[in-house]
Amino acid sequence: MKGFFKTLLASFIGIFLAMFLGVMVLVSVVGALSASTGSTPSVPKSTILKISDITIGEQNAEGDIDPTSLIMGGGKLSAGKQVGILNAIRAIENAATDPAVKFIYINPTNVSADLTTMEEFRNALVKFKESGKAIITYAESYSQTGYYLCSVADKIYVNPHGSNSVYGVASSLTFFKGALDKLGVEIQLIRHGKYKSAGEQFVNRDISPANREQNQAMISSLWNTIATAICESRDIDIKTFNNHINNLTASDAENMVKASLADATMTRDKMIEELTGLFGVKDEKDVKMTSLADYAQATVKPNVKASDKIAIIYANGEIKQGSGDGICSDDYAKIVSDVRKDSTIKAVVLRVNSPGGDAIAAEIIRNELELLRKVKPVVVSYGGYAASGGYWISAEGDKIFTNESTLTGSIGVFSMVPNFGKIVKEKAHVNIVNIKSNDHADMMTITKGLDKEEVAHMQNSVEHIYDTFLSIVSNGRDMTTEEVDAIAQGRVWSGTDAMKVGLTDEIGTIVDAIQYTENILGLKEYQLVEYPKSKSQVEKLMESFGQAKSSMDILSNPEAAVEDMVKELKKISKTVYARMEYNYVFEN
């Protein structure tokens, strides 16, 4: 009986603690939501627009959520916000004509964006300067993308002990063949395309000549985009600039000034004095600054009175079947279908930022977009990537705008089948016996290699999908399949080169794509509506708790986690991919 009461008491204590924690979470959520859904930020009558401590991405988004810090951190729901590139550009456009904004001040140290997003944002700053207002920048040290952004400024200042990390563009490719051989893991790669090097890192010990060729061409083109923009803004000869970069003679503050990459060295307190004087006040406390995030929230508003709409569909991430994060076929098929049926939506801007993914998922989405194009114009805008499956879904757009640094094309197909039979038998000393009803019933078990007939079967599947890809591009770009094949073969092109070979129509930002759509419709008044809708703070919070629960489930049941991993590996072997080889990151 004593044991019973102990158990009962423990149960009551457990229930009480659970209720207490639940109340704590609820109070934190309510408090944080109240703070995050407050009034719209106000803009002073006279202000400096400050670009610092901000992430610029595809869409507006709340910051990441940590359930533990939410409970322990006094009700802080989010660490920060992401400003969508469209809102960031619109904010700069508004600032150009807003008498309240005296000039722009940039500290790029914590400005985060990928290279193509930075290119779009930088182009907006170039146009801002046409208003006659100045752009001033200061940093202790400049990263490569940070300097690329700031090079547009009228004045560039650097800390006397600061540095400059503009070294050029590079990519690092890792090859695992040697390690896999040691482990006894075999990867069978079935692909079409001379340049389709996806999976090459698992079957080769070194880069192939074709892959080296395309990578070198991409890297050179991207660097040319960066270097040309910097040299035009700073009025520097590009040969002289490249000599400085190659000889590392402009990597410290003093030499930055000598090479005309900066105007002067300045300590932080002197920079504050400079801003105070430029703002026209004597005391630092009278300097009014408005962050880009707050200014965008205050000034970029939808035209809710307009009955006609232009929809922006953001295809951001990897292409997958089903539902979930990324560009999932079920989710996007429904979005496109709903947009097609909405009579108030007159046209669509399809914004693509994807390296590709599952070929079948891409075709499901493309088919829905084809139905949409029969009733409404679809204008395409490319972000950082529009490669392979990303190009598949967008090649038939009415007009394609690309940025110079976009990576696109990769018109090729591949499939990979892993074989863990050797490692299971020789390393784990486990013998697996397959009993089957037909000759090839065990071809996707991932514990045996494919035989010649099975490889031929997989190759036929890859060839069929590649031919389909060629037909889609041929139809969308008004080219013969032979012409497409000549520039396809899995090759990835920079936006600049993609336009030269006919894969895109025009160099331009998402704003250019919207303006073109507006012009072909002849609309004077319209409302922009975005899909998919950004997730709310509560939705993100619930996802965070779900992820935490998943982690606990793995710890409590590792056997199930292993089973899930095996299922995923089998799924990989059954999937034909239209995906770019790598995700490239160009950042120092």
Which CATH number do you get for residue 502?
3.90.226.10
Closest by Cα among 300, 278, 295 to 102: 278
Same domain, 266 and 360: no
Per-residue pLDDT reduced to its tens digit, 75-116: 444 445 799 999 999 999 999 999 999 999 999 999 999 999
**Phi, psi at residue 316, to the nearest 5°?**
-120, 115
Q: How far apart are CA 36 and CA 59, in angstroms?
A: 18
Q: In this structure, are residues 431 and 447 in contact, taking their beta carbons and an 8 Å threshold?
A: no
Q: Note the helical H segments in 488-536.
A: 495-500, 510-521
Assign 15 a pLDDT band (cuts: 50, 70, 90): low
Per-residue CA distances from 408 to 16, 21, 58, 459, 488 (Å)? 57, 49, 17, 24, 11
For range 427-446, the mean pLDDT: 76
For range 394-403, the mean pLDDT: 97
- pLDDT given at position 405: 95
Q: In this structure, are residues 260 and 231 in contact, taking their beta carbons and an 8 Å threshold?
A: no
Residue 584 domain flag: no
Residue 215 domain flag: no
Q: In this structure, are residues 67 and 548 in contact, taking their beta carbons and an 8 Å threshold?
A: yes
Per-residue pLDDT reduced to its tens digit, 276-315: 999 999 999 999 999 999 999 999 998 988 999 999 999 9
Same domain, 443 and 545: yes
pLDDT at 63 over 60: no
Average pLDDT, the chain: 84
Q: Which residues of 405-443 are buried (b: 16+ CB within 10 A; e: fewer)?
A: bbbbbbbbbbbbbbbbbbbbeeeeeeeeeeeeeeeeebb
Residue 569 domain flag: yes
ω before 377 within 30° of 0 (cis)? Answer: no
Residue 585 domain flag: no
pLDDT at 119 over 50: yes
Residue 179 domain flag: no
What's the total number of domains in the chain? Answer: 3
pLDDT at 445 over 80: no
Same domain, 32 and 51: no
pLDDT at 466 over 60: yes
Helix (H) or strand (E) holding 531: strand 527-531
Same domain, 402 and 427: yes
More confident residue, 533 or 401: 401
Residue 189 domain flag: no
Same domain, 13 and 63: no
334 secondary structure, DSSP code: H
pTM: 0.83
**Phi, psi at residue 186, to the nearest 5°?**
-110, 135
- pLDDT given at position 533: 85
Q: How far apart are CA 414 and CA 44, in angstroms?
A: 56
Residue 235 domain flag: no
Same domain, 287 and 144: yes
Assign 128 a pLDDT band (cuts: 50, 70, 90): very high
Same domain, 284 and 353: no
Question: Which tokens in the block code for residue 495?
Answer: 């936006």
Same domain, 427 and 522: yes
Q: In this structure, are residues 185 and 420 in contact, taking their beta carbons and an 8 Å threshold?
A: yes
Instruction: Give percent above pLDDT 90 in the chain.
Output: 59
Same domain, 364 and 265: no
Question: Which tokens in the block code for residue 491?
Answer: 């090759």
Domain extent for 293: 47-167+248-299
Tell me the pairing of strands 61-62 and 81-84: antiparallel
Same domain, 555 and 494: yes
Same domain, 68 and 160: yes
For range 352-375, the mean pLDDT: 95
Same domain, 20 and 138: no
Residue 568 domain flag: yes
Q: How far apart are CA 444 and CA 425, in angstroms?
A: 17
